[in-house]
Structures are given as C-alpha cells and as structure tokens.
Amino acid sequence: MIVANSTPACLAAQKATTKIPIVIVAADPVRSGLVASLARPGGNITGLSIQEFELIFKRLELLKEAVPMASRVAYLRVPGTQPTQVASSFQTQEDSAAQSIGLQLQRVEVREPIDFAGAFSTMAKNRAQALIVANVGPLSIHAAQVAALATQNRLPAIGGQKGLTRAGLLLTYGPDLSDLQRRSATYVDKILKGAKPADLPVEQPTKFELIINLKTAKALGLTIPPSLLARADQVIE
C-alpha cells in the first residue's frame, strides 16, 4: 500500500502503479484526475480530499475581509504540481472566483528558495497589495522565509497551513491536517482487511482552522476587523 500526502505525491504514485492501493491524505483528487468521483473513486485510489479550489476561494474572501482596500493580489505558487490541462482549467476558475469579489490575481512562480527574492521583487513592481500563498509543500517547508519576505514587503498574506502563521504570515485557513492524517489510518485499516479502494468513497475535511497572527498585523500597521477575529480558531499575539 502507498499513503500519499499532497496532490503531486498522489499523481506520482498514480503514475507508478494501477494495482497497489493508494490512500490519499490531502489532495484535490477529482480535479487532478486521481479518482472518477468522490462517491465512486474507481481504480486503486481513495482517501481524503481537501477540495483545494473551494479553499482558495475561501482564503481570498478572508484576505479581502482583512484588507478591504486590496484589489491586486499576488499568488505565489510552484509550477508543475498539477497536469498542464488541469492547471489551466484551475487557473480560469481561480480568476473568475477572484474577480467575483473584486480581486485580480497576479501569479508569480518559484521553483527553488533562491527564486523567492526575485518573486517578491516582481510583486513590488506589479504593485501587489496582498498575497496568497499556494498550499504546496515547497512553500510550507520554507515558511519562515516566505513569511519574512511578505512582512518585509508589507504584503498582508494568507496561506493554507498553520505553520505559515506560526512562522509569521498574517493568516492561514485550511483543513486540520492532523485530523486528516488520523482519518487516513481508517482507510489503511479497511484496505488491509480486504476492502477495495474503488468501493471506499473519498471523504472531505470536517475540521477547518482560521489562524491570525496579530504580531504580523501590528508590523504591517493593519487592524484586523473584530468580526474576523471572532471567527479565529487561534490568535497569535
């Protein structure tokens, strides 16, 4: 059995085998072509979906609430984390969602940490007013560097994993990954006892966390609306 955490890891596992059961811990399986549907995954893959598109839209809404005057939002991402056709469709949907709440996305790509400084320089040239950080491993691993550059460039920013806010990013919103990891163990158990992945529906997150870093808000000279603070699961002071 293979347990894969993140869409790129799941895609790599899918490419490697169509026979060995694969359990997803956190991915966007339908849009990425990993499963036929949540209810009937088919094939050798099942597990837990994070519905990343819906989460990106929610993060943009929260960012707009925190920074109402922002209209130009830089989107820091890593290319190649999805098949080209899927990524293109995803971008069209993201642009449409952003425009519906008065935001314009400006995509800035990085491949290695050495690219970070240039990426933030590009954001400055494009007069970005806020930042959304893609929910991908390479950016989470370098959370401290990303958060520091966002603050240095006075960009209120939101990401998907709480490690980013703990490192200094303004906001994060996303599923409780610890809960997803625990729930993935039930799939492993069922498959080891004879269940087929094709017969096990893909489940979605049930626990989400909104974390706000008030230290960063103060450094940015930003006042977080009380309505947003009241909904936070954790506030870093």
pLDDT given at position 139: 86
41 has pLDDT over 70: yes
How far apart (Å, rounded) are the C-alpha atoms in residues 47 and 198? 10
How far apart (Å, rounded) are the C-alpha atoms in residues 46 and 32? 13
How far apart (Å, rounded) are the C-alpha atoms in residues 28 and 51? 5
User: Quick one: average pLDDT of 178-188?
Assistant: 94
Architecture per CATH, 52-174+209-236: 3-Layer(aba) Sandwich (3.40)
Q: Give the distance, in angstroms, between the CA of residue 31 and the centroid of all CA atoms in the same chain.
A: 14
Sheet with 72-77, strands from edge to edge, namely: 104-109, 72-77, 130-133, 157-159, 171-175, 208-213, 234-236
Q: Of all residues in the chain, what percent carry a pLDDT higher than 70?
A: 97
132 has pLDDT over 70: yes
81-98: per-residue pLDDT in tens? 666 666 777 788 888 889
Q: Which fold has domain 2-50+177-206?
A: Rossmann fold (3.40.50)
Strands (E), 54-168: 72-77, 104-109, 130-133, 157-159
How many other C-beta atoms lie within 10 A of the C-beta of residue 88?
Answer: 10
Domains 2-50+177-206 and 52-174+209-236 equal at CATH topology level: yes
Q: Of all residues in the chain, what percent carry a pLDDT higher than 90?
A: 73
How far apart (Å, rounded) are the C-alpha atoms in residues 166 and 172? 9
How far apart (Å, rounded) are the C-alpha atoms in residues 204 and 200? 13
pLDDT given at position 30: 87
User: Could you tell me the residue ranges of all domains in the chain?
Assistant: 2-50+177-206, 52-174+209-236
User: Quick one: average pLDDT of 182-188?
Assistant: 95
Alpha-carbon dihedral sign for residues 222, 95, 111, 3 = positive
pLDDT given at position 81: 67
Phi and psi at 61, nearest 5°, equal -60, -45
Q: Is 164 in contact with 234 (CB distance < 8 Å)?
A: no
pTM recorded for the entire structure = 0.89
User: Quick one: average pLDDT of 191-212?
Assistant: 95
pLDDT given at position 154: 96
Sheet with 45-49, strands from edge to edge, namely: 2-5, 22-27, 45-49
